[in-house]
Structure 1
Amino acid sequence: MNYKIVLLACTLALSVACNKDKNEVAQVWLSTPEQVYSFVGKDWSVVQPAISNKKDYLYAELDNQQVKSYVEVKGIDTAAPAQHYKLSFNVGKDNKITSLIYSCTDQLDKSTGSKNFIYFYEHAALKMTGVTQRHQWVQETYNPQQMITPDSLLVALHAGSATQPFLDWYTDSRRVGLVYFSTTGEFRMELNGY
């Protein structure tokens, strides 16, 4: 009879512990391009509360002259054509977020990759004000003679003829880059503040 009481007590304790763990499981970070775009140049103490308690969060101190720490977290954007992302960025010695990569962890077919590019174009690149330089290509060549207008890039994306769309825009203090590699199905947004 003591055996049954001990077993019942263990089962009850395990059940309480499991329920407690379920309630304390870190949630996935719900992200948007606008939110990520706003991180560059912000103080780490402002951004940290939004992501430090999320699932797959990583923070590492660095012994570097310019970079204080490296941060990484996975997230989901439920409105984007591709939904799973990894955000990684550096925090400078001044505690400001200086460079950031927001990469899709899903492998994208050409149609979804093009739609995702357009989504980020509309929700991040177009939010930039004071753009001083605009570079965009249907295929990433960095050749100034092959650059096209933003409108031509969108036409190519909608038509499915952009084999490797690439956008690189600058202001006096910020850079945004979007790229989709159709051969590998990878998409990423890069942001730098300086």
Structure 2
Amino acid sequence: MSSWIRRDFGGIGLTQSPPGAYLPKLQERYGGHVLLCIDVSSSMQGERLAQAIAGGERFLAEAESAHYESGLVLWSDAVRQYVPPEARLDDVVSALRKAEVRGGTLLSSALQLGIEVLPKYSGDRVLCIFSDGALADHAKARELARKACSMGIRIVVRGLGPQAAAALADLACPGVQDDDQQIDDAAGIAAGIASMATGLSARRG
């Protein structure tokens, strides 16, 4: 299980049926909402996009098994596709499989969307971001990332190659050790996305 997921459900021990009045509070401790943000700029053509889709599907399946509701943001120089976390998993996967590439690499719109959307939800809230290039709007993206972190939204990242990894590492929430932010080559994109934020420790509660 990827370590961006805040807690293991193994020991919750819910035995009451029907669930009691405190179930929502318990769910807040263990569940969460995540937006998987995948770069679909022009440089993602071909194998890179195919790898990203495969990795995204694995990521979404793992998140569901850990009781996270997952949304999807496909972004380039704007948000190209958004599916909210409350959508059915099949609908999120379907949107991911239809991803098309175009445009440049501007992350600000995706970050702004996360800031607007995630505070509406309870539990752990996470932005998981993948890109294959340097950000053309790095300063603005960093400003928005700091705002998101201050709101209790965790940001975890994967970048293809040293340039993308360095750009995204600057956006991850401070104080979190993550040694796996860089994906070395296109063949590793699927595994990198599927194991998003392997070095991220659980949010302190």
Richer in helix (by share): 2
Richer in strand (by share): 1
* Higher Rg of the two aligned structures: 1
Q: Which structure has more RCO (C-alpha within 8 Å, separation ≥ 6)?
A: 2
